[in-house]
Structure 1
């Protein structure tokens, strides 16, 4: 069978398992990736579903092209939700399962039965933990970045806590984030391709440690610092994945002809990352100058003093 026929049939098989299913492209990619990993190494179907690791986990240009073809042919239809997300649904019935795809089709059905297609994140996180080629990836993407982005959502600009008034630096979430970033640093990919990346990552970790101190104290610029620290962390991830897909463990052989172009893109991303981390660290240094700290402490003491005076009067 042609590669396009294999992938097209397996995509339709996803919906055959649950005919009323509506899925994001991302979910389709992840389901077929797990099909690929579940197949024996010598299974010819496996080679027809090539993947590489990228921004949001394993990604396949072959799967992407097959989805587009199925849409053009009217077999898949795209629908936009009220939140602006696009979901794919099947418009025709699947023909009988082909003999050569019987095992792969059975795996598709098993996967679809065992996941919640409308809450795909736990499934994606599981893929990172079980299948990512380097321990750095689930640590940084699933544990650190996800937690950091959630923290940012839960602490909007303008929110104030008593920490700045009572000089209480307790913040379990920030403590957890700081511990995680050190864990990530310990799991950096030790490959020649990543030497520059690793140096810049260590530089970022140094600045992030100072940033977390500012956030704990909930100083006036805490939200801006939180946002900047998180934004830089996200950009670092996008740089990392441009590099990891180049390594043998980061892609299937099918994509070997793209390595030269990928390296050009990675080198450009590294250059941008260096500028981003330098700007981030410069901003952090300016935020923790002694004069700033002294002024912040004086202001906190004045506020606390007025609160006590008002209480006693």
Structure 2
């Protein structure tokens, strides 16, 4: 049997266990990836679930086409939330999808699906990154760094000027400091592979500009939002570029997709070539923004960092 014949059984099993489940397509991909990862290495069912890592985590073209097919057949239907999100729901008209998996597989699917909170699906996806992503850079960037922008911007409303906006998660650490620390952890975890040599150069240039952007945000909140928004916009493009490349590496895809590698590399090179001028424009904008701010004494955070560096130097 081919994956396209088997995967619909897995999807039906998800809804047999939780008939009232309402989740996004992305969540279905992650659930089935977790199923595959949980099955024993020698289980033949694993071969029916081919995945590669992409922009939103593990993705399967077979799962995607199976969802489309089941929607056309009336097994599943789409439902819009008030926020515009599209959820997949079991259609009542076809009746009970029935138990369609063997006992072992059914138990694995049931255990995973019953443990999911549909209202906190992001937590489940984050764990997928930390538990299974092939490179440390991925959870550090996608889970730790990128979401930090939303918290940073939400804590400072447009037009608001204050020097005491602190993270709700850690009241002793400014949220911009947390964002900067997360970025430097990403820089330390860059993927050292020839395919990513040019990407890494662009990332280092971006990190340097972002560090200046965070300084600007600390010194003058009147221009904090546009500077942080620009930093966030480039950060997203960096992630999309990385995601287009990581699926090419051996750890980023199952053998099922080996025939795609040539096309994927062409797409990655094209995206990477577009990233370079974007990073250059961004760093130029940050330098110009920094030049419009009067020089000030280093803040306490910078003094502590400088002090620790000096102490470390003289202790050698």
Residue 143 (structure 1) aligns with: 144
Matches within 5 A, 1:130-209: 130-162=131-163, 172-209=174-211
1:255 aligns with 2:257: yes
Matches within 5 A, 1:69-108: 69-91=69-91, 92-98=95-101, 101-108=102-109
Task: Using the TM superposition, give the Cα deviation of residue 162 of structure 1 relative to its aligned residue in structure 2, in angstroms.
Answer: 4.2
TM-score, normalised via structure 1 length: 0.88
Q: Is the 8 A contact 1:14 1:112 kept in 2?
A: yes
Distance 1:285 1:96 in 2: 61
Q: Is the 8 A contact 1:161 1:218 kept in 2?
A: no
Larger Rg: 1
CA RMSD of aligned residues (A): 1.6
Distance 2:204 2:64 in 1: 35
Distance 1:2 1:254 in 2: 11
Q: Gapped runs of 5+ residues in structure 2? A: 165-171, 297-316
| 1:138-179 deviation line (CA, Å, top 9, x unaligned) | 11110011112222233232121147xxxxxx9611111111
Q: Gapped runs of 5+ residues in structure 1? A: 164-169, 298-313
Q: 2:228 aligns with which of 200, 204, 226?
A: 226
Q: Is the 8 A contact 1:23 1:118 kept in 2?
A: no
Residue 270 (structure 1) aligns with: 272
Q: Is the 8 A contact 2:248 2:261 kept in 1?
A: yes
SS in 2 for 1:53: strand
How many equivalent pairs are there?
Answer: 286
SS in 2 for 1:119: helix
Q: Is the 8 A contact 1:7 1:48 kept in 2?
A: yes
Q: Is the 8 A contact 2:241 2:268 kept in 1?
A: yes
Q: Is the 8 A contact 2:52 2:252 kept in 1?
A: yes
Residue 64 (structure 2) aligns with: 64
Distance 2:179 2:23 in 1: 32
Residue 285 (structure 1) aligns with: 287
Residue 305 (structure 2) aligns with: none
Q: Is the 8 A contact 2:31 2:112 kept in 1?
A: yes
